[in-house]
């Protein structure tokens, strides 16, 4: 089962770019990477997902190198409202999109 490893916590300041790196050494060929954001007392919110190279949407970018053993979530110009826990997950494609959550990265954005 693909396990992910990411920093437990990170600090940043408003307006900075934040990069959170995740390792997933045992990712299978058909699986892909997804990132979620969770605020206290709310369900996780989907941010972005990708299989390889670079994916960008209106809130973040996801960089995945050719070997797919790691990925980096990039949040441009963070604000105080980006303070949350960020989860890096491997989507188990052959198990109907099943997710196994790790501990996540607690991002704290300071003024």
Partner 1 sequence: SAVISQKPSRDICQRGTSLTIQCQVDSQVTMMFWYRQQPGQSLTLIATANQGSEATYESGFVIDKFPISRPNLTFSTLTVSNMSPEDSSIYLCSVVVRGQGATDTQYFGPGTRLTVL
- In angstroms, what is the minimal distance from the CB of 51 to partner 1? 8
- 60 lines the binding site for partner 1 (CB under 8 A): no
- 103 lines the binding site for partner 1 (CB under 8 A): yes
- Cα R_g (the chain), whole angstroms: 13
Q: What are 72's two structure tokens?
A: 């980096």
List 1, 8, 46, 58, residue binding partner 1 (CB under 8 A): 46
- 35 lines the binding site for partner 1 (CB under 8 A): no
List 8, 29, 43, 111, residue binding partner 1 (CB under 8 A): 43
What is the DSSP code string of 15-61?
T--EEEEEE-TT--TT-EEEEEEE-TTS--EEEEEESSEEEE-SS-E
9-17, 63-71, 76-84, 100-108 -> range binding partner 1 (CB under 8 A):
100-108
Residue 14's contacts (CB-CB under 8 Å, 6 or more residues apart) are: 78, 79, 80, 109, 110, 111
Q: Which residues bind partner 1 (CB under 8 A)?
A: 32, 34, 36, 41-46, 49, 51, 87, 91, 93, 96-104
């Amino acid at each position: 089962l693909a396990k992910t490893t990411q920093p437990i916590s990170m600090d940043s300041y408003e307006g900075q770019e934040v990069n959170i790196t995740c390792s997933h050494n045992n990712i299978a060929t058909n699986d892909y990477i997804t990132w979620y954001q969770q605020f206290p007392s709310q369900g996780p919110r989907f941010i972005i997902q990708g299989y390889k190279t670079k994916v960008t949407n209106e809130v973040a970018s996801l960089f995945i190198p050719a070997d797919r053993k790691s990925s980096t979530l990039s949040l441009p110009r963070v604000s105080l409202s980006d303070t949350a826990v960020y989860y890096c997950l491997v989507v188990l494609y052959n198990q109907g999109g099943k997710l196994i959550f790790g501990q996540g990265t607690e991002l704290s954005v300071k003024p």
